[in-house]
Amino acid sequence: MEFLLFGLLSFVPLILIAAVVVAIVVGLRRIGGETNEPGIGTIRRIFFYGLAFVGLMLTASGVATILNELLAALSMSDVFRSSSFGMAFGLAATIVGLTAWLLFWRTAQRSIERYPGERGTLGRKMYVYLVLGISAAVTAFSAQRLISDALGASSVDVTTLAPIVVWGAVWAIHWRWEVAEGQPTEIARSMRRLYVYVTSSQGLVLLSMGLGVATATLLSTGYSSVFGGTLLRPEGGLWNETLQDALASTAVGGLWWWFHWHRHGRGDEASLLRQVVIYFLGVFGGIVTAVSSGAVIVHRVLEWVIDRPDTVSAASNFSVIPAALAATLVALGVWGYHSSLGVEEARGSGARLPTARRAYRYLTAGVGLATLTTGMVLLAGTVIGVLVPSANRLAGAGFYGGPLTASLTALLVGGPLWAWFWLKQSSLVTSALDASASIEERQAGSRRTFIFAVFGIAMLTTIAGMSTVLFLLLQAVLDGELSMRMLDTGKWAIGAVLAAGAVSLYYWQVLKEDRASATLEDENADADEPVSHAPAPATVAKRVSAVAVPAAQALLDALGVRLGVTVAVQTRRDDAGVPEPSGDEIDTLVEQIRSAPGDAVLLVVDAAGVQVIAV
């Protein structure tokens, strides 16, 4: 009975994964992502590939277990000892899983022979990239363990080789199949992007954490050797298990990130998912980490100056700084790389450059404003607590040293960060030299999103704080205990009202200025525009197709956005190359396509340029 229960429970993760897959398939089909080519149908496709996926997961798990038991038996060590349970489970999973996988995978392959369009369907690509993602994660995790053991002085766990060999083979086989098939449809290219950028993000996180921990270990060891103290020295000396794990994470994460991001994500600058990774994970994640760890350093220094503990030595108080400094350095590296990459890639299209820079600056200004506002809340609450007499009698002399230090830290870190990026981007609005830039900046979606988000959050915070203050006041009145103690109890809520109220008033004024400027611009445009009673000409979108190498996809996507159409692409198998047109050349190309006779255009793309042929 226990074995039956164990077997049933082992299918729960696979069922959850299958449910997620079905939800994604249904969602993408609703937005029109599925191809209209004839095939076996969505339900049969999900059935075949879903069961093939379950069979493959069982097969890989079973083979890895069998290999694990064989390595344990051959290791000649009492630590790694094989068991009949593991071997029996491995054989059972392999026999059942391999039979199911061969049956359903072969059925799916025969459908491709009958319907070649099946190669680009969502169901098949979902199966392939889900297998690639899972096998890549398992292989990377196991490789990190193996390298860490190899760097250490202890014996290497040879059984770690089993998942590396098996899941690495699964990944390599499916990757080779995918490269051979290509991505003939837009949904196939979208699935490839999802895999590439999710896996590269995992590699980036692993790389950053490894670099951070390794740098922190080195700096902490140097700090302890200079200032002494055995409590500050890493356990086991410099070459300890922590450093070994960090170096292993750096090696595996760096290789995985480079392979997916640099080698297979290159030339995909027009991808929205790539921009999300650059600006959300790289820029936003990097600056949040840098600000947080940098605040720790500033806080420890201010705490030592303002509220120095009597029982703590200077060496012990500042012992956290090496780790915080390591995190700050790595986070600044991630931030700097992705911010410069975003601007560099945007230079390929003149229209995207301001958008990329604008998103980067508003994200960073938002982090600074949140930190600054937190400091304002803490400072206001601390001042109220100090001024209330009853609170001074109840609290010790150093009671408010902690909040004061925290508030000054947040103000010193968040204030300059918000002021630099907000004022730098807002200077475009107030520029009298470039009226077009001012109009574009006021109407930018990222600016409006930032202002409304800040204003909305500030208003909600103000309302919540005022509700709390009013509640405390009414409670004290009804209980007949109205005194200065009420101010001390509600000091943080009062601080939130003052800080959030100031932020909301400021951005309400900014919002009013933007709206007034937009109204004035509309009135001027209406006054300058001649009145015409002729009917507007009907605009007919052309059917645009292209013959190009896969590397030209970014250029074709940009043209499709400018034209308002989806460019159908036929992949060239020769080495035709990709042109690098300037912004003016792209404008000229768009005009040629629009002015071409007929309602269909064929684009022939090679290194020499783009040839427009009316068909």
pLDDT, tens digit, 9 for 90 and up, residues 287-320: 889 988 988 898 888 888 887 766 777 778 788 8
Q: Is the confidence at residue 77, as pLDDT, over 70?
A: no
The answer to whether residue 260 sits within a structural domain is no
Question: Phi, psi (5° rounding) for residue 41?
Answer: 100, 150
121 shares a domain with 24: yes
Is 345 contained in some domain?
no
pLDDT band at 535 (very low <50, low <70, confident <90, very high): very low
Same domain, 472 and 573: no
pLDDT band (50, 70, 90) for residue 236: low
* One domain, residues 547 and 517: no
481 and 451 in a single domain? The answer is: yes
**Mean pLDDT taken over the chain:** 80
Classify residue 75: in a domain, yes or no.
yes
Q: Between 151 and 132, whose confidence is greater?
A: 132
pLDDT score of 60 more than 90: yes
Predicted confidence at residue 155, as pLDDT, reads: 65
What's the whole-number mean pLDDT along residues 454-469? Answer: 92
Examine the fold and report which residue of 460, 486, 521 is the final residue of a domain before the chain moves on.
521
DSSP string, 492-541: HHHHHHHHHHHHHHHHHHHHHHHHHHHHHHHHHHHHHSPP--SPPPPP-P
CB count, 10 Å around CB of 211? 22
Rounded-to-integer distance, Cα 196 and Cα 201, Å = 8
User: Cβ–Cβ contacts within 10 Å for residue 173, how many?
Assistant: 12
Are 496 and 553 in the same domain?
no
Helix 401-426 with 285-306: angle, nearest 10 deg: 140
Co-location of 381 and 511 in the same domain = yes
Out of 184, 208, 223, a domain closes at 184
Asked if residue 59 and residue 100 are part of one domain, the reply reads: yes
Based on the domain organization, do 507 and 566 belong to the same domain? no
Q: For residues 556 and 456, state if they share a domain.
A: no
In Å, the largest CA–CA distance within the chain is: 94
Q: Residue 353: pLDDT above 60?
A: no
Q: Helix, strand, coil proportions of the chain in percent (round to 5)?
A: 75, 5, 20
Burial grade of 537 (CB within 10 A; 0-12, 13-18, 19 or more): exposed
- Ramachandran angles phi, psi of 545, nearest 5°: -125, 160
26 and 116 together in one domain: yes
Tell me what the mean pLDDT of segment 187-215 comes to.
92
Number of domains comprising the chain: 3
Q: Which domain holds residue 602?
A: 543-614
* pLDDT of 457: 93
> What is the C-alpha to C-alpha distance for residues 139 and 165, in angstroms, rounded to an integer?
8
Report pLDDT for 468: 92
Tens of pLDDT along 263-278?
A: 888 878 778 788 888 8
Predicted pLDDT of residue 228? 64
Model confidence at 81, pLDDT cuts 50, 70, 90, reads low
What's the confidence (pLDDT) of residue 309? 66
Residue 497: CB partners within 8 Å, gap ≥ 6?
Answer: 462, 465, 466, 469
Which one is predicted more confidently, 252 or 432?
252
Token pair, residue 228, equals 């002494």
